A and B are shown apart, each in its own frame.
Chain A
Amino acid sequence: MEIKLSEQQKRNQTAFRDFVNKEIIPHANQHDKEERIPDELIKKLARKRYFGAVLPEQYGGHAMDYITYGLLNEELGRGCASVRAFMMMQNMVALTIHKWGSEEQKERWLGRIASGETIAAFALTEPEVGSDAMHIETSFTDADDSKFIINGHKKWITLGQIADLFLVFGKKRGKLSAVLVEKDTPGLTKIPIGGMLGVRASMLAELYFDNCSVPQENLVGRAGFGFVPVGITALNLGRYSIAWGCVGIGQACLEACINYASNRRQFGDYLKNHQLIQEMIADMTVNLKAGRLLCYQAGQMQEEGHENAIMEIMVAKYFTSKMACTIASNAVQVHGAVGCSSDSAVQRHLRDAKIMEIIEGTSQIHQIKIADYAYREYAE
């Protein structure tokens, strides 16, 4: 077994890193304070074809392999969790349409998402339904053979404030289903949500569907297959993105600590020479390497179409989100009062890291699934 990036992957990694250093990091705290991502940056991300990162070139995509896509997520995550989440959301919806959508849906939407002309969002969560997706209350009621009516309430929807297209989950004749809904659909109301703990520039919204009439052909996949496989296709890619994004958060914190501890003097010596600081740096380094290896393994399995890739992605996301929280917390500790300032990046990373333990499957849901996986894989 060899873990080694190809020359092309290395070139992409360098390009991603340069882009993040130049276009994202200098402004990331501002995104956080203003709770939005500037249009100009969205255009730059689109021009790089990052919104169609996993789409084939025929749709204007980048046709990245999963390792390259992981590297992109690490670098964006190192810069700004909200920007990474923006890019993730476009790819989640695009991949899902590509895999399970009709030819008409692919032709209509994929090129637009890849180019940034259409901003897409994933609308699963409801006020009363988070982890327990099977009990979604939003209803899709047949009006006639050509249309159905949506009624329901979605909450905490990333990019809900600005999205042009929503992949909405609900029940059609009691069966979980997924449908594409355009932003101008009569009866759809968006209410912005602000003041969140972290990933503050992800422009969350509540969505109210009040007798929204939608064409039957907007269904993605068939009625009854909305969560599996349609929703899980998106969530799996989302978890993979988050896992790598957490590696990026950890890397940003480690680099910040190394820089700070190398220049800050206390008790007549640099922080880096104090053993309790060294302990934190060592633990950050080791856990970051372990998390990155889990991501590489999961990415390679996903690339190969291995049936356990979905579980290895869960393992990676569970580990790296926990890791990112610990690393970011210790990074604030290393920086002291400086790390608590709103001008500091590490306090933003700490708040963002906490969100990663909750979204796209909480750590506790992941633990249940990982335990099931262990009983299956290791039982005699």
Chain B
Amino acid sequence: MNDRKTRIKTFLVRYIRNYELNDDTDIFGGGLVNSLFAMQLITFLEKEFTITIEDRDLKLDNFRTINAMDNLIENKT
């Protein structure tokens, strides 16, 4: 697991407890999180990786899994 994925997972496990989270776990499809979490996730990604999430990034597939978020960050840095 690369450093980015580790940092994303460290953040996620604070919210998603008692669940075996891997890089391909669909955190939205599984009903594991709520709407406020989604906002906190965006805030976290922006600050932690010094990126700006924009209108064009708003696709659920960019945020479903640790791998997807890692790809999004990769493409924005």
Binding site for B on A (CB under 8 A): 100-102, 134, 221-222, 224-225, 227-229, 232-233, 236, 304-311, 369, 372, 376, 379
Could you tell me the dominant secondary structure of chain B's interface residues? helix
Tell me if A307 and B40 are in contact (CB < 8 A): yes
Contact of B11 among A221, A222, A307 (CB under 8 A): A307
Could you tell me the dominant secondary structure of chain A's interface residues? helix
- Assuming the A-B contacts A307-B47, A376-B14, are A232 and B39 also in contact, with contact meaning beta carbons closer than 8 angstroms in the complex? yes
Tell me if B15 and A376 are in contact (CB < 8 A): yes
Tell me if B39 and A236 are in contact (CB < 8 A): yes
- Assuming the A-B contacts A305-B47, A308-B40, are A227 and B55 also in contact, with contact meaning beta carbons closer than 8 angstroms in the complex? no
Cα A379 to Cα B15 in complex, Å, equals: 11
Proximity bits, B47-77, A CB within 8 Å = 1, else 0: 1000001110011100000000000000000
CB neighbours (8 Å) of B46 from chain A are 305
When C-beta atoms are compared, the residue in chain B nearest to A314 turns out to be: B36
When C-beta atoms are compared, the residue in chain B nearest to A305 turns out to be: B47
Cα A304 to Cα B59 in complex, Å, equals: 25
CB neighbours (8 Å) of B32 from chain A are none
Binding site for A on B (CB under 8 A): 11, 14-15, 17, 34-36, 38-44, 46-47, 53-55, 58-60
Contact of B58 among A229, A232, A311 (CB under 8 A): A229
The distance from the CB of A52 to the nearest CB of chain B, in whole angstroms, is 20
Cα A379 to Cα B38 in complex, Å, equals: 21
CB neighbours (8 Å) of B35 from chain A are 134, 227-228, 232
When C-beta atoms are compared, the residue in chain A nearest to B17 turns out to be: A379
Which of B44, B54, B58, B60 is most buried by chain A, counting CB atoms within 10 A of its CB?
B58
Contact of A369 among B14, B36, B60 (CB under 8 A): B36
When C-beta atoms are compared, the residue in chain B nearest to A176 turns out to be: B35
When C-beta atoms are compared, the residue in chain B nearest to A231 turns out to be: B35
When C-beta atoms are compared, the residue in chain A nearest to B14 turns out to be: A376
Cα A102 to Cα B54 in complex, Å, equals: 9
Tell me if A306 and B43 are in contact (CB < 8 A): yes
CB neighbours (8 Å) of B55 from chain A are 100-102, 221-222
CB neighbours (8 Å) of B11 from chain A are 307
Tell me if A229 and B36 are in contact (CB < 8 A): no
Tell me if B60 and A307 are in contact (CB < 8 A): no
- Assuming the A-B contacts A305-B47, A307-B11, are A222 and B40 also in contact, with contact meaning beta carbons closer than 8 angstroms in the complex? no
The distance from the CB of A19 to the nearest CB of chain B, in whole angstroms, is 32
Contact of A306 among B34, B36, B42, B47 (CB under 8 A): B47
CB neighbours (8 Å) of B39 from chain A are 228-229, 232-233, 236, 310
Tell me if B44 and A307 are in contact (CB < 8 A): yes
Cα A23 to Cα B47 in complex, Å, equals: 39
CB neighbours (8 Å) of B42 from chain A are 229
Cα A35 to Cα B59 in complex, Å, equals: 43
Cα A240 to Cα B14 in complex, Å, equals: 25
When C-beta atoms are compared, the residue in chain B nearest to A301 turns out to be: B43
Cα A99 to Cα B3 in complex, Å, equals: 28
Which of B35, B41, B53, B59 is most buried by chain A, counting CB atoms within 10 A of its CB?
B35
The distance from the CB of A180 to the nearest CB of chain B, in whole angstroms, is 13
